[in-house]
Amino acid sequence: MSNGVAGPYPFGMRRIGIVLLYVAVLAGGTYSGFRPTFDSGFARVQAEAGDGMLNHYLLEHSWQVVSNPNYCGTLLSPPFFYPQPLTLAYSESFLGVAPLYWGFRLAFPDDLAYQWWMILCSVLNFLAFAAVVRWFGCGHLLAAFGGFFWAFALVHLEQAKHQQMIPRFWMPLAVYHAWCLANVPTVRSLNRCLGCLFLQAASCVYSGWFLGVGLMVFFPIAVMGAQGGWRGLVLFFRTHPLAVVRVVGLWVIALGCFFTPYVLANRGFSRGYVDCIDLIPTLAAWLTGPPESRWSGTLRPYLRGVSEENRLFSGFGPDILFVIAGGHMWLTRRNHTRQASRALVGVCLITATVWWLLTMSDGEGISGWWLVRFVPGGSAIRCVSRVYTIVYLFGTFGVIIWLEAVSQRFASRCLQLSFILAVSLPVVVEQTGFQPPAMNKSDFYPNVDRCAVGLRGADIGYMIPDPGRPQLYGDVVAMWAGLRANVPVVNGYSGRYPDAYPLVSPGETPEVALRKWLSGRFRGRIALIDPEHPEQAKLESID
């Protein structure tokens, strides 16, 4: 259809050309996104010693659960923050994407499996978005462009330091099936839409929640613009009541089962509005990219500083295209042709705009988020800036489909191709120049192994905080050491701390805080590890 990559060539050659297009774009994007990994020969991992190693720990924990019958932890209670139960629900569980990691663990050690897991998730992001663009009727060139932007845009590379934000491949699929459900309601499209929503939530709670609220805006508008409208949807429900109740009921039960541990583990805990203020996007956030990226030096003097979580800029190209597409849709709103692609562009752009506005802050704490957070699950959301997932999801779909429609106005295939390249190449160039952060694996894992030696022979372990380093680093090292030695540890780092967790207070020794935490909860041998001399662990008994 339309803007393929070849003209009047034999079918076989055209197919080869299409495959080479996708391979070239995917290879270029993958190298751009994981350059530190590839250039170092996998000696550097694109993570940091806090959140990055926590995320790896959670993946490796799930592997130990399914592969090691003698493992000291259980699925919902990893062996950190010992003896606190249900600690998996303090953060992401990764259960929806852990099987991908398990596949790599069959062949690789844990560090290599983690690196390849990140790469594979990015590849799947590309393939899922490109496939949906094709299903929406666009040509291969735009599908490759859309897949590249969804997988390797600056905002996604910047936020990949939080590895739970990498797997987003169920999101475009959910949008596609929601659109099908709105236009030609079927039990299959309902089932697949809810299934994709569940799988995305199981992959990442944050992106799953934002996908859900995004669809809450997208779907009603799509129904209003559909040929059958609400009447057609109601008729579908009336003619298939049992099937609808069965499908909806089963996915509601699945979501309920998945989130039950979160509810139990976090009873009485919620994020207040004040906890979110610094993480609600401002206009400056949407114009701030990662350091050393295109435009960062040019724009920095004119923008108010934002937190590391609020770098949401991916270049002027996407923003300009969004504004032009929206303006064109508005100026031609009285066009009475009911093209499905035209309606889809409008619905996507409106959805992106609504969520851009609802989560916009004036920088002083005033934002629509004050109300949005009362949506079920919203009180658990602290990092509001992760709304970028659905703003870029729906916005990119709107722009891509609009570009397809505009390109069709050119008389020849050559002109269509030239137009798309002229628009897409500057946007792609804007995504380059950024070096994703990474650290040497040798700075972390060998230290873990040294600490693991000191845990052997103990029932539990505790690493004494090092005054020269943030406590979270020692806690994460201790967690990993416990995993390697198969010994539970009191140390822990996650989305939050348990009540009364022994963070060392001024004037209080670590041992005093530790005994308060374990009093009445543990009896046995505990290894106290000095991070400067981990091999000289001190073994004590607690009665």
As a whole number of angstroms, the distance between CA 3 and CA 404 comes to: 8
Residue 44 phi, psi dihedral angles, 5° rounding: -115, 135
Band (pLDDT 50/70/90 cuts) for residue 450 is very high
Q: What is the pLDDT of residue 171?
A: 98
pTM (predicted TM-score)? 0.93
What value does the mean pLDDT of the chain take?
A: 91
Q: What is the pLDDT of residue 136?
A: 96
For 330, the 3-state DSSP assignment is: helix
Which two tokens mark 30?
């993958």
Q: Does residue 427 register a pLDDT over 70?
A: yes
Do the Cβ atoms of 114 and 56 come closer than 8 Å?
yes
pLDDT digits (tens, 9 = 90+) for 141-160: 999 999 999 999 999 999 99
Can you spell out the DSSP letters for 108-150?
S-HHHHHHHHHHHHHHHHHHHHHHHHHHTT--HHHHHHHHHHH
Task: Write down the residue that tokens 């009896």 correspond to.
Answer: 523
Nearest partner of 180 among 164, 169, 191, judged by Cα: 191
Judged against a pLDDT cut of 60, whether residue 357 lies above it is answered with: yes
pLDDT of residue 172: 98
Long-range contacts made by residues 272-278, C-beta under 8 angstroms, separation at least 24? 273/365, 273/369, 273/370, 273/373, 275/382, 276/369, 276/373, 276/381, 276/382, 276/383, 276/384, 277/361, 277/365, 278/307
